[in-house]
Protein backbone atom coordinates (compact mmCIF):
# COMPACT_ATOMS: atom_id res chain seq x y z
CA UNK A 1 0.00 0.00 0.00
CA UNK A 2 1.59 3.27 -1.09
CA UNK A 3 1.17 6.78 0.26
CA UNK A 4 -1.95 8.28 -1.35
CA UNK A 5 -1.25 11.90 -0.42
CA UNK A 6 2.02 13.81 -0.29
CA UNK A 7 2.35 17.33 1.09
CA UNK A 8 4.41 19.42 -1.34
CA UNK A 9 4.99 22.70 0.53
CA UNK A 10 1.74 24.67 0.06
CA UNK A 11 0.18 22.14 -2.33
CA UNK A 12 -1.09 18.59 -1.91
CA UNK A 13 -0.40 15.76 -4.34
CA UNK A 14 -3.02 13.01 -4.42
CA UNK A 15 -1.90 9.67 -5.81
CA UNK A 16 -5.17 7.73 -5.87
CA UNK A 17 -4.34 7.03 -9.52
CA UNK A 18 -1.19 7.64 -11.61
CA UNK A 19 -0.33 11.28 -12.29
CA UNK A 20 1.86 13.00 -14.87
CA UNK A 21 5.04 14.91 -14.06
CA UNK A 22 5.98 17.19 -16.96
CA UNK A 23 9.63 17.71 -17.89
CA UNK A 24 10.72 21.34 -18.25
CA UNK A 25 14.45 21.52 -18.90
CA UNK A 26 15.89 25.03 -18.73
CA UNK A 27 19.23 23.88 -20.09
CA UNK A 28 20.98 24.40 -23.43
CA UNK A 29 22.00 20.75 -23.79
CA UNK A 30 19.32 18.32 -22.58
CA UNK A 31 18.89 15.43 -25.00
CA UNK A 32 15.34 16.19 -26.14
CA UNK A 33 14.38 19.80 -25.36
CA UNK A 34 17.67 21.52 -24.59
CA UNK A 35 17.58 25.27 -25.30
CA UNK A 36 13.85 25.48 -26.00
CA UNK A 37 12.69 26.87 -22.66
CA UNK A 38 15.70 28.67 -21.22
CA UNK A 39 14.11 32.11 -20.78
CA UNK A 40 11.35 32.98 -18.36
CA UNK A 41 8.58 33.74 -20.84
CA UNK A 42 9.02 30.64 -23.02
CA UNK A 43 9.29 28.50 -19.89
CA UNK A 44 6.09 30.03 -18.46
CA UNK A 45 4.19 29.50 -21.72
CA UNK A 46 5.30 25.88 -21.83
CA UNK A 47 4.38 25.37 -18.17
CA UNK A 48 0.91 26.87 -18.81
CA UNK A 49 0.40 24.42 -21.68
CA UNK A 50 1.56 21.50 -19.53
CA UNK A 51 -0.91 22.39 -16.78
CA UNK A 52 -3.76 22.76 -19.28
CA UNK A 53 -2.78 19.38 -20.74
CA UNK A 54 -3.14 17.74 -17.32
CA UNK A 55 0.27 17.76 -15.61
CA UNK A 56 0.04 17.89 -11.81
CA UNK A 57 3.80 18.36 -11.35
CA UNK A 58 6.34 20.32 -13.40
CA UNK A 59 9.91 19.09 -13.00
CA UNK A 60 12.39 21.92 -13.64
CA UNK A 61 16.02 21.02 -14.31
CA UNK A 62 18.97 23.35 -14.80
CA UNK A 63 21.69 20.75 -15.47
CA UNK A 64 21.52 18.05 -18.12
CA UNK A 65 22.09 14.49 -16.90
CA UNK A 66 22.32 12.92 -20.34
CA UNK A 67 25.42 10.75 -20.96
CA UNK A 68 28.40 12.96 -21.78
CA UNK A 69 26.78 16.22 -20.68
CA UNK A 70 29.03 18.83 -19.06
CA UNK A 71 28.58 19.63 -15.39
CA UNK A 72 27.57 23.15 -14.37
CA UNK A 73 28.35 25.18 -11.29
CA UNK A 74 25.82 25.76 -8.54
CA UNK A 75 25.63 29.45 -9.46
CA UNK A 76 24.89 28.61 -13.10
CA UNK A 77 22.19 26.17 -12.08
CA UNK A 78 20.63 28.69 -9.69
CA UNK A 79 20.65 31.38 -12.36
CA UNK A 80 18.78 29.04 -14.68
CA UNK A 81 16.14 27.63 -12.37
CA UNK A 82 15.31 30.17 -9.65
CA UNK A 83 13.66 32.89 -11.78
CA UNK A 84 11.55 30.29 -13.58
CA UNK A 85 10.52 28.52 -10.37
CA UNK A 86 9.52 31.86 -8.83
CA UNK A 87 7.52 32.87 -11.91
CA UNK A 88 5.66 29.57 -12.29
CA UNK A 89 4.92 29.44 -8.57
CA UNK A 90 3.38 32.92 -8.73
CA UNK A 91 1.42 32.36 -11.92
CA UNK A 92 0.24 28.75 -11.91
CA UNK A 93 -1.51 26.34 -9.55
CA UNK A 94 0.86 23.42 -9.96
CA UNK A 95 3.43 21.53 -7.90
CA UNK A 96 6.99 22.43 -8.92
CA UNK A 97 9.69 19.81 -8.62
CA UNK A 98 13.35 20.83 -8.81
CA UNK A 99 15.56 18.33 -10.63
CA UNK A 100 18.92 18.78 -8.88
CA UNK A 101 21.61 17.03 -6.86
CA UNK A 102 23.11 20.16 -5.28
CA UNK A 103 22.32 21.07 -1.68
CA UNK A 104 22.32 24.83 -2.27
CA UNK A 105 19.98 24.51 -5.24
CA UNK A 106 17.57 22.40 -3.19
CA UNK A 107 17.42 25.01 -0.43
CA UNK A 108 17.16 28.03 -2.72
CA UNK A 109 14.56 26.34 -4.92
CA UNK A 110 12.44 25.53 -1.87
CA UNK A 111 12.53 29.19 -0.92
CA UNK A 112 11.51 30.17 -4.43
CA UNK A 113 8.41 27.94 -4.43
CA UNK A 114 9.49 24.41 -5.31
CA UNK A 115 7.38 21.72 -3.64
CA UNK A 116 9.46 18.62 -4.37
CA UNK A 117 13.09 17.56 -4.83
CA UNK A 118 13.90 15.11 -7.64
CA UNK A 119 17.49 13.91 -7.30
CA UNK A 120 19.15 11.48 -9.72
CA UNK A 121 21.92 11.04 -7.11
CA UNK A 122 19.42 10.04 -4.37
CA UNK A 123 20.79 12.69 -1.99
CA UNK A 124 24.34 11.30 -2.05
CA UNK A 125 26.09 14.56 -2.97
CA UNK A 126 27.77 16.58 -0.23
CA UNK A 127 25.21 18.20 2.04
CA UNK A 128 22.23 17.07 -0.02
CA UNK A 129 20.65 14.78 2.56
CA UNK A 130 20.73 17.45 5.27
CA UNK A 131 19.56 20.17 2.88
CA UNK A 132 16.61 18.10 1.71
CA UNK A 133 15.56 17.37 5.28
CA UNK A 134 15.77 21.06 6.19
CA UNK A 135 13.46 22.07 3.33
CA UNK A 136 10.73 19.72 4.59
CA UNK A 137 9.91 18.86 0.98
CA UNK A 138 9.19 15.38 -0.39
CA UNK A 139 12.13 13.77 -2.14
CA UNK A 140 12.42 11.42 -5.10
CA UNK A 141 15.36 9.03 -4.76
CA UNK A 142 16.62 7.60 -8.05
CA UNK A 143 18.95 4.69 -8.66
CA UNK A 144 21.90 5.39 -10.91
CA UNK A 145 24.98 3.24 -11.44
CA UNK A 146 28.03 5.44 -11.90
CA UNK A 147 27.88 9.12 -12.81
CA UNK A 148 25.79 10.83 -15.51
CA UNK A 149 28.78 11.60 -17.76
CA UNK A 150 29.94 7.95 -17.96
CA UNK A 151 26.98 5.90 -16.70
CA UNK A 152 26.26 4.24 -20.04
CA UNK A 153 29.82 2.97 -20.57
CA UNK A 154 29.15 -0.78 -20.35
CA UNK A 155 27.13 -0.98 -17.10
CA UNK A 156 27.27 -4.41 -15.43
CA UNK A 157 25.03 -6.11 -12.83
CA UNK A 158 24.83 -9.55 -11.30
CA UNK A 159 21.11 -9.02 -10.63
CA UNK A 160 19.83 -5.59 -11.63
CA UNK A 161 16.54 -5.86 -9.72
CA UNK A 162 18.23 -6.93 -6.50
CA UNK A 163 20.91 -4.26 -6.76
CA UNK A 164 18.40 -1.49 -7.47
CA UNK A 165 16.16 -2.60 -4.59
CA UNK A 166 19.12 -2.82 -2.19
CA UNK A 167 20.37 0.63 -3.19
CA UNK A 168 16.95 2.24 -2.78
CA UNK A 169 16.42 0.50 0.58
CA UNK A 170 19.73 1.88 1.83
CA UNK A 171 18.88 5.41 0.66
CA UNK A 172 15.42 5.22 2.27
CA UNK A 173 17.07 4.19 5.55
CA UNK A 174 19.50 7.12 5.31
CA UNK A 175 16.60 9.52 4.74
CA UNK A 176 14.68 8.16 7.71
CA UNK A 177 17.77 8.42 9.90
CA UNK A 178 18.17 12.06 8.83
CA UNK A 179 14.59 12.83 9.83
CA UNK A 180 12.85 12.75 6.44
CA UNK A 181 9.45 11.13 6.95
CA UNK A 182 8.57 7.96 5.07
CA UNK A 183 5.42 9.60 3.66
CA UNK A 184 7.66 12.21 2.01
CA UNK A 185 9.74 9.69 0.01
CA UNK A 186 9.26 8.62 -3.63
CA UNK A 187 11.51 6.10 -5.40
CA UNK A 188 12.64 5.85 -9.02
CA UNK A 189 14.41 2.80 -10.51
CA UNK A 190 16.27 5.09 -12.92
CA UNK A 191 15.49 3.70 -16.35
CA UNK A 192 18.37 4.52 -18.66
CA UNK A 193 20.71 5.65 -15.88
CA UNK A 194 23.65 3.25 -15.89
CA UNK A 195 21.63 0.46 -17.46
CA UNK A 196 21.76 -1.41 -20.77
CA UNK A 197 18.54 -2.25 -22.59
CA UNK A 198 18.35 -5.74 -21.05
CA UNK A 199 18.64 -4.20 -17.57
CA UNK A 200 15.85 -1.72 -18.30
CA UNK A 201 13.55 -4.46 -19.59
CA UNK A 202 14.25 -6.70 -16.60
CA UNK A 203 13.52 -3.83 -14.20
CA UNK A 204 10.31 -2.95 -15.99
CA UNK A 205 9.03 -6.52 -15.98
CA UNK A 206 9.55 -6.56 -12.18
CA UNK A 207 8.22 -3.05 -11.55
CA UNK A 208 5.67 -4.33 -9.05
CA UNK A 209 8.48 -5.59 -6.82
CA UNK A 210 9.67 -2.03 -6.33
CA UNK A 211 6.37 -0.99 -4.75
CA UNK A 212 6.90 -3.44 -1.85
CA UNK A 213 8.30 -0.81 0.61
CA UNK A 214 4.93 0.97 0.31
CA UNK A 215 6.36 4.07 -1.37
CA UNK A 216 5.18 5.70 -4.61
CA UNK A 217 7.27 4.77 -7.64
CA UNK A 218 8.18 7.36 -10.26
CA UNK A 219 8.94 6.12 -13.78
CA UNK A 220 10.69 8.17 -16.44
CA UNK A 221 11.51 6.75 -19.86
CA UNK A 222 10.08 9.47 -22.11
CA UNK A 223 11.95 9.63 -25.46
CA UNK A 224 14.99 7.89 -23.93
CA UNK A 225 17.49 5.82 -25.86
CA UNK A 226 15.91 2.59 -24.59
CA UNK A 227 12.74 3.57 -26.49
CA UNK A 228 14.88 4.29 -29.54
CA UNK A 229 16.69 0.95 -29.27
CA UNK A 230 13.42 -0.97 -29.18
CA UNK A 231 11.63 1.02 -31.90
CA UNK A 232 14.61 2.10 -34.03
CA UNK A 233 13.34 5.69 -33.89
CA UNK A 234 15.08 9.04 -33.45
CA UNK A 235 14.30 11.21 -30.40
CA UNK A 236 11.58 13.21 -32.17
CA UNK A 237 9.89 10.00 -33.37
CA UNK A 238 9.55 8.26 -29.99
CA UNK A 239 6.10 9.43 -28.92
CA UNK A 240 4.30 6.15 -29.60
CA UNK A 241 6.97 4.10 -27.84
CA UNK A 242 6.99 6.49 -24.87
CA UNK A 243 3.20 6.25 -24.58
CA UNK A 244 3.29 2.46 -24.63
CA UNK A 245 5.88 2.48 -21.85
CA UNK A 246 3.94 5.03 -19.78
CA UNK A 247 0.66 3.12 -20.13
CA UNK A 248 2.18 -0.18 -19.08
CA UNK A 249 4.00 1.52 -16.21
CA UNK A 250 0.71 2.95 -14.94
CA UNK A 251 -0.95 -0.48 -15.15
CA UNK A 252 1.96 -2.09 -13.32
CA UNK A 253 2.01 0.19 -10.28
CA UNK A 254 3.82 3.42 -11.14
CA UNK A 255 2.34 6.38 -9.27
CA UNK A 256 4.09 9.20 -11.16
CA UNK A 257 4.96 9.15 -14.86
CA UNK A 258 7.63 11.70 -15.89
CA UNK A 259 7.21 12.75 -19.54
CA UNK A 260 7.76 15.36 -22.24
CA UNK A 261 4.43 14.75 -24.04
CA UNK A 262 1.83 15.61 -21.42
CA UNK A 263 -1.53 15.65 -23.20
CA UNK A 264 -0.94 12.36 -24.97
CA UNK A 265 0.29 10.65 -21.79
CA UNK A 266 -2.64 11.95 -19.74
CA UNK A 267 -5.04 10.43 -22.29
CA UNK A 268 -3.16 7.12 -22.28
CA UNK A 269 -3.29 6.93 -18.49
CA UNK A 270 -7.01 7.72 -18.50
CA UNK A 271 -7.53 4.68 -20.73
CA UNK A 272 -5.35 2.52 -18.47
CA UNK A 273 -7.27 3.68 -15.38
CA UNK A 274 -10.65 3.04 -17.00
CA UNK A 275 -9.69 -0.44 -18.15
CA UNK A 276 -8.26 -1.34 -14.75
CA UNK A 277 -11.33 -0.06 -12.92
CA UNK A 278 -13.56 -2.09 -15.21
CA UNK A 279 -11.48 -5.24 -14.73
CA UNK A 280 -11.42 -4.80 -10.97
CA UNK A 281 -15.20 -4.46 -10.84
CA UNK A 282 -15.77 -7.84 -12.47
Which pLDDT tens digit goes with each residue over 160-184?
A: 999 999 999 999 999 999 999 999 9
Q: What positions carry a catalytic annotation?
A: 224, 258
Q: Give dist(CA 218, CA 257) in Å, integer.
A: 6
Q: Which of 251, 148, 258 lies closest to 193 in space, CA to CA?
A: 148
State residue 31's pLDDT score. 46
Q: Which of 143, 155, 245, 146 lies closest to 196 in space, CA to CA?
A: 155
Q: Give dist(CA 191, CA 204) in Å, integer.
A: 8
State residue 136's pLDDT score. 97
Q: Give dist(CA 165, CA 211) in Å, integer.
A: 10
The mean predicted confidence, pLDDT, of the chain is 90
CA 229 to chain centre: 21
Q: Give dist(CA 74, CA 174) in Å, integer.
A: 24
Q: Is the pLDDT of residue 1 over 50?
A: no
Q: Give dist(CA 241, CA 225) in Å, integer.
A: 11
Q: Which of 66, 1, 56, 78 lies closest to 29 in space, CA to CA?
A: 66
8 A C-beta contact, residue 269 and residue 20: yes
Q: Is the pLDDT of residue 30 over 60?
A: no
Q: Is the pLDDT of residue 242 over 80?
A: yes
Q: Give dist(CA 158, CA 140) in Å, integer.
A: 25
Q: Residue ranges per domain, the chain?
A: 5-280
Give the helix/strand (H/E) hosting 276: helix 262-280
CATH class of 5-280: alpha beta
Q: Tell me the per-residue pLDDT of 246-269, one tens digit each, with 9 for 90 and over.
A: 999 999 999 999 999 999 999 999
Lowest mean pLDDT segment, chosen from 1-5, 59-63, 275-279: 1-5
The residue count of the chain comes to 282
8 A C-beta contact, residue 176 and residue 186: no
Amino acid sequence: MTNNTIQCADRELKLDSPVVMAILNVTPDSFSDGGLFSNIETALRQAEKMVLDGALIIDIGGESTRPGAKSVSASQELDRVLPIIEKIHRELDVIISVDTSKAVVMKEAAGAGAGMINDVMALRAEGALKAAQETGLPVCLMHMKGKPRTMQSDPQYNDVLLEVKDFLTQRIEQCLAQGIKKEQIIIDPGFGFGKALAHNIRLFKQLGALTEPGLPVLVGASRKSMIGQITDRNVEQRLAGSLAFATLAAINGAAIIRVHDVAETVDAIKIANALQANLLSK
